[in-house]
Amino acid sequence: MASYDAPADSARGIDSSAIPVVALPRRPFKRHFRTAFLALAIGWLVLIVMLALLAPLLPIPESDAGGFGVAKKPFEDRFLGTDQLGRDMLSRLVYGARMSFLIAGASISLALSIGVAVGLWAGYVRGKLETVVTAVADIILAFPGLVLLMVVAALLGASPRNLIFAITILQVPTFIRLARASTISVANREFVLAAKGSGAGTMRIAALEILPNVLPTLTAYALAATARVFVIEGSLSFLGLGIQPPTPAWGSMIAAGRPQLVAAPHIVLIPAISLFATVLSFNALADARRDSGRPSRLIG
């Protein structure tokens, strides 16, 4: 068998040593960094969720116990110290997380359920229903969200139920628009047309053919929206329009610790870092879900 010999560069008058060598980019560090960062994000969320769920069973005092003491630094008397009134910071952090997760989880779950149902139906049926739904969503989106939250807090009171109600109203339009757009993009796929041709009803097609293909995008956005709700709830509590004392909330803990920022910075830093880590972790999960999410059934 004849062997193939590459043409010699020197025979063509080309100095091969002068040709720059271009190395293919390697990204193991970036990949490992993202994996490690995602693992840390998941670990933090699992930890804080477990603490919030098991708060009544943990060997910590009540969140408002010891309200006649003074601020103590972490490890001086308690694990995370005490606030300006002598209340255990770890207890208030855990119970504050419990309230924040309750508001964020309930409002996003309601907004996702309503938004998916309405948006999927509007995107598949189209017609006048789509026009009305889109117009209502646009009107709500055009209204300043902070103003709506402040109005609800002023008129109905800053209770967890009212906050969930107001935040849900703010989040539903975006879920509707996203579900509608995702539904339109898959409504004319071959597998949907095949199901329609086989005699499947509208509800069956929407639930079994379209919904699995729009959920990856919606769940990724839901994680990012959860992070945003934590910021909203923390901001309202910081302004005094969210969860009211003595119930702990991370935002109100930050606000209450501002006068002691120099003498006892841990009163502000502990809830602030916890809020930052939680928001960052949800955003990391949203990015990972967006990158890995693929329609579960795309044919053709």
Which whole-number Å values give the CA distances from 133 to 96, 180, 210, in the listed order?
36, 10, 19
243 within 8 A of 252, measured Cβ to Cβ: yes
Domain assignment present for 32: no
The count of domains in the chain is 1
CA dihedral 99, 259, 268, 102 (to 10 degrees): 10
The predicted model gives 146-167 an average pLDDT of 84
Burial class of 149 by CB neighbour count within 10 A (0 to 12, 13 to 18, 19+): buried
pLDDT beyond 80 at 295:
no
Domain assignment present for 259: yes
64 within 8 A of 297, measured Cβ to Cβ: no
Distance CA 57, CA 54 (A): 5
Domain that holds residue 164: 72-292
Report the CATH number at residue 153. 1.10.3720.10
Domain assignment present for 217: yes
What are 228-260's pLDDT values in tens digits? 999 998 888 888 888 887 888 898 889 888 888
Q: What is the pLDDT of residue 177?
A: 92
Between 50-54, 193-197, 261-265, the lowest mean confidence (pLDDT) is in 193-197
Domain assignment present for 283: yes
**Amino acid found at 242:** G
Max mean pLDDT among 77-91, 160-174, 196-210 falls in 160-174
What are 44-83's pLDDT values in tens digits? 999 999 999 998 888 888 877 776 677 888 887 788 888 8
**Amino acid found at 208:** L
| Residues 38, 75, 51, 242, CA torsion sign | negative
Domain assignment present for 265: yes
Domain assignment present for 179: yes
